[in-house]
Structure 1
């Protein structure tokens, strides 16, 4: 398990037991070590992979990242004031470097967000999302076509 994910898990466990100050201390350590803000308040599922140890990643505390997602460097999952809420990434979503997902929106399961895309509205499942503002460039994609490493075996259930 990656160090940033380990720190998040500890912070999340402390946050859940009402040890908010200790949780924030671990968040600060994560910020110093990895230049990343992955607060314990956020909800992050199993097998989430942060490329390059989550360098420059900023995640809103109200964000939800479901299982088997991949997050590239310098990705922002943020809020959009005065609207309350944060992004929700469905299972198996891949977010490439520099992408910004802003506001209380949902990215459908098995979607791919291209590098430097700015997503400000809900996106359907199994879609390729690109541009600023982001639009759906292709639908009905297979996430396996976009995973070329060991993580794709986790999706298939072939890995131990």
Structure 2
């Protein structure tokens, strides 16, 4: 697929997934997420040609202008959309499938100092909500939804919604519709209560440990 075809599909993805987008021209001129993707696509070509200095040179002004940092060595599929975008970080060995949407403050980060694979692999049709952190060389399967501010440190099975810190599954049925911020309305309320109780138990355990030390 040609470079211009890929860019055209990125523009279309923004129109399809953001009701505030009025036209492709609107997206091209005013969407920082698209600007970051556009510069990445160019820089990635040079990175794959082993012209690493040029790739980084092209990436740097994009980071300054958009406040979005995408390493030129990342592997990003078609129809990628970054909504709002401020504070997004995508690491060097991250792999992202087709039709993926991420929101502001998302980090696809590494947890290792090794030179090899250390960033996440994201499947197709994945949505990662605002502020979520996906860390390490883990895999998110196709159709995964990550709730806002979740911290994902383990593999996630396809068509699963995860929320919380650390992220845990709340919904395992495939969602055929686009769900903004990776949040589904029919998440099991009982599991939500369990997650809340687990957090309270952790706090109480910490307080008990402090009392024992005193």
TM-score (norm 1): 0.87
Q: Confirm or deny that 1:105 pairs with 2:138.
A: yes
Q: Confirm or deny that 1:59 pairs with 2:90.
A: yes
Name the residue aligned to 1:95: 128
Q: 1:143 to 1:119 in 2, by over 3 A?
A: farther
Given that residues 36 and 63 in structure 2 are in contact (C-alpha distance below 8 angstroms), is that contact kept between their aligned partners in structure 1?
Answer: no
Q: Between Structure 1 and Structure 2, whose CA radius of gyration is higher?
A: 2
Q: Measure, in 1, the Cα distance between the counterparts of 2:102 and 2:141.
A: 15
Gaps of 5+ in 1: 148-160
Q: Which has the higher strand share?
A: 1
Q: 1:143 to 1:95 in 2, by over 3 A?
A: farther
Cα shift at 1:63: 0.2
Given that residues 35 and 66 in structure 2 are in contact (C-alpha distance below 8 angstroms), is that contact kept between their aligned partners in structure 1?
Answer: no
What is the aligned residue count?
146
Gaps of 5+ in 2: 1-10, 12-33, 181-214
User: How much is the aligned-residue C-alpha RMSD, in angstroms?
Assistant: 1.3
**Greater relative contact order (Cα 8 A, min sep 6): structure 1 or 2?**
1
Cα shift at 1:82: 4.8
Q: Measure, in 1, the Cα distance between the counterparts of 2:69 and 2:148.
A: 19
